[in-house]
Structure 1
Amino acid sequence: MSGPIPDIAGLKAQARRLRERLARSGSDPGHAAVLELIARHHGYRDWNTLRAVVGKRTDAPVATGERVRGTYLSHPFEGVVVTVQAVSLGWFRIRLKLDQAVDVVASEHFSGWRKQVTAVVDSNGVTAEATSDGEPHLRLESG
């Protein structure tokens, strides 16, 4: 298995490229066989299983390069999405580069400033992890 799994169009494009590469080397296993190879490459037993999983996948709440705002550890922020990666059905690891550093320490005796943060969010842009007062670690604002 290698990296995040593309959408159906991306998977079919992978299959087309693989079939062209195999044809240039003198072998043409056929379209259906290549789809099965793509499925196994991504860790699934067959194309139908992979297609079913990808078809149920929820879209990420943000895209790479998108400007976002929200709260991180209850501090408001604005920034840019550096990376987005699906980690499981409906959950995405995102890395944000913040316009202004955020103090992630709740002590008056010292500070810990962060300009980049990474979190796993759901399709609404909210983390499952929360602070002691119940606020999500990260919440992206919509719109």
Structure 2
Amino acid sequence: MTLQSVKDAKSQAKILRKALSAQGTSITHAQALELIAQQNGARDWNTLQAKLSRSEPQAFHLNDQVRGQYLGQAFTGRIVALSKLGPNTQLSLRLDEPVDAVQFESFSNLRRHIKAVVAPDGRSPRKTSDGTPHLIIDITGD
């Protein structure tokens, strides 16, 4: 068995748990993860997860120049801090030019620094009332 990612390992654990349940053996998801780790030569699930996480490509890196849209407004900037939150990444961006975080004509709130969580596709799970992600980072490199 060759696992490429944490997602693959969790999928295998789910399949194992289902197969054992069909044979009358009930185990928890945590126990299934531990068994998958052992089958792949790791001491425990935490060790396997760490190993797989290190080998997964990261979409974002410190000091990367990025561009995209924040609350519907185009921006360019630089990643000044980041941390992994499961499959997502929390980013702090320093914008080259401030963007207005308010769409009300008689009021402005200019921001030069944005902190948000984005999925691997560069889109934030948080959305505006019309369903548009708060932050969209262009990860195509174009």
User: After superposition, where does 1:1-143 map in structure 2 within 5 Å?
Assistant: 47-57=43-53, 58-88=56-86, 90-142=87-139, 143=141
Structure 1: tracts of 5 or more residues without a match: 1-45
Paired letter, 2:70: Y
State the SS of the aligned residue for 1:54.
helix
The answer on whether the counterparts of 1:60 and 1:92 sit within 8 Å (CA) in structure 2 is no
The answer on whether the counterparts of 1:68 and 1:140 sit within 8 Å (CA) in structure 2 is yes
Across the aligned residues of Structure 1 and Structure 2, the Cα RMSD in angstroms comes to 1.6
Partner deviation per Cα, 1:60-113 (whole Å, 9 max, x = no partner): 32100010000000100000000110122x111000000000000110111000
Structure 2: tracts of 5 or more residues without a match: 1-41
Q: Distance in 1 between matches of 2:50 and 2:120?
A: 15
| Matched residue count | 97
Paired letter, 1:109: S
State the SS of the aligned residue for 2:130.
coil
Q: Distance in 2 between matches of 1:55 and 1:133?
A: 39
- Assess, with a 3 A threshold, how the Cα gap between structure 1 residues 83 and 47 changes in structure 2: closer, same or farther: farther
Paired letter, 1:78: T
Q: Percent identity?
A: 31
Task: Give the TM-score normalised by the residue count of structure 2.
Answer: 0.63
